Amino acid sequence: MKKLILLSTIASATLFATNGDLMIGDGAKATGMGGVGMAVSHGAESLYANPAMIKDVKGSEFTGYATMFQPDVNFKSDAHPQLTSAMTATSKSDADRSFIPGFAYVHRNNDNIVWGISLAGTAGMGTDYKKAKSNSGAFGMQTELGIAKLSVPVAYTSGDLTVAVAPVLQYSTLEINYQTPAGASQNKKDSSVGLGVSAGLAYDLGDLTLGGLYKSKIAANYKGNISNAMRDFGVRSVTSGDQLDQPAEIGVGAAYKMGNNTFAFDAKQVQWGDATGYKDFGWENQNVFALGYQYATATWGVRAGYNYGKSPIQELEGATSFDNAAVNFFNLSGFPAIVEQHYTLGADYSLSKALTLSFAGVYSPEVSNSFDTTAMTYGMAYGGALQQGATQAQAQAGAGQAAANGSTANVTHSQTAVTVGATYVF
């Protein structure tokens, strides 16, 4: 029970991420290098990026960190049935700051075996338009998805090859609420517990290290939230109910050391298009590429990186299909995971032989997107007119007028993040 309470605290703190709903990196060291870590060792932090890379821990090591995310999300739409003219207002999401903790412990058992344990918020997203301007068309949308993972990896080294496997316990929460013409929803936050596995490889070729990673899909179900939202907005194409599985990931990486310099590259695919729930909302598989550089001495180090992942959210044809138009609206108003580029900096400073402090900063430049919601505007205006006593002909005429010039949902999203951490070696 205590474990689940701690997991709940971490998951609830997570509101935004960058590659889809995944953080580009967990911990200060990986984040400062653009998220790379499949072939470069970050000590105990390597539990997250590639468990095989904990092979370089000499004795015992503990790392703790906290990340402050500050997303800036602004939304407007004329899909609301009461807005028959051009959009006149843009509303800023109040979900603009969150704090995400994490820790990892690694211990070398003998020359061949290293094991560890980690607990951290690894993914999430959300928006809050409860106080949005009435003419922004945001429907008072409030979403909060938080995901935390407990992982216990074991790595075995033989010669230059290291293999690692880690069972993963995922605890996640989701809440979706909104204000429709029929009234405000009262969906309660629901939690889900799921099991998965991650596996990693690392192979040393002198100054060159190659790495590989696989993370399994993890099932998640949030009773009442997704299905109620789809019912209240009249969407029939989302047939997965309240299922929203975290996707599988597969990737490779390489790192080259040249004196105090380390150059690293990671490439992975996040399989949103094969995950129940995300697939129903039109998300596609996402290829993510990361470049990282590190200059390290015995007492200090600096890092820089770049991370790119094309947005997995794709616009559906929304001019003639109500369901497509409503899904377009939901993706941009509640889950706008559209940021693509991430620039990072990081640094280390050793206070002693045992204690090192780390820092990382991330900047994601603003991205804008506009999806077609014409059929949603028509359908909601038509249904609203009928509820108010209009005849079919009158409702059709009014709906046609409301959607005559087309309808769109529009969002802009940028992000900054700061991570601070400390590592103790003993």
Q: Which two tokens stand for residue 406?
A: 């087309």
Helix axes 374-387, 322-334, angle to 10 degrees: 100
d(CA 234, CA 244): 19
Cα separation, 369 vs 354, whole angstroms: 47
Query: Hey, CA dihedral for 185, 189, 193, 198, is it positive or negative?
Result: positive
Distance CA 350, CA 292 (A): 21
Q: Report the percent of the chain where pLDDT is more than 90.
A: 78
Question: pLDDT tens digits for 198-208?
Answer: 999 999 999 99
Q: 2-417 is classed in which CATH architecture?
A: Beta Barrel (2.40)
Region 27-31: what's the mean pLDDT?
A: 95
Average pLDDT score, the chain:
91
Separation between Cα atoms, residue 389 and residue 407, nearest integer Å: 25
pTM: 0.92
Q: Provide the pLDDT for residue 81.
A: 58
Say if residue 282's pLDDT is above 80.
yes
153-186: per-residue pLDDT in tens?
Answer: 999 999 999 999 999 999 999 999 999 877 899 9
Question: What three-state secondary structure class fits 246?
Answer: strand
pLDDT in tens, 307-335: 999 999 999 999 899 999 999 999 999 99
Burial letters 260-281, b for 16+ CB under 10 A, else e: eebbbbbebbbbbbebbbbbbb
- Pick the residue with more confidence: 383 or 186? 186
Locate the domains of the chain by residue range: 2-417
Q: Residue 275 is inside which H or E element, if any?
A: none
The closest alpha carbon to 22, from 363, 329, 337, 369, belongs to 337
* CA-based nearest residue to 379, from 329, 304, 334, 417: 329
Check residue 27 and give left, alpha or beta (phi > 0: left; psi -120 to 50: alpha). Answer: left
Torsion, Cα 221 24 206 108, to 10 degrees, reads: -60
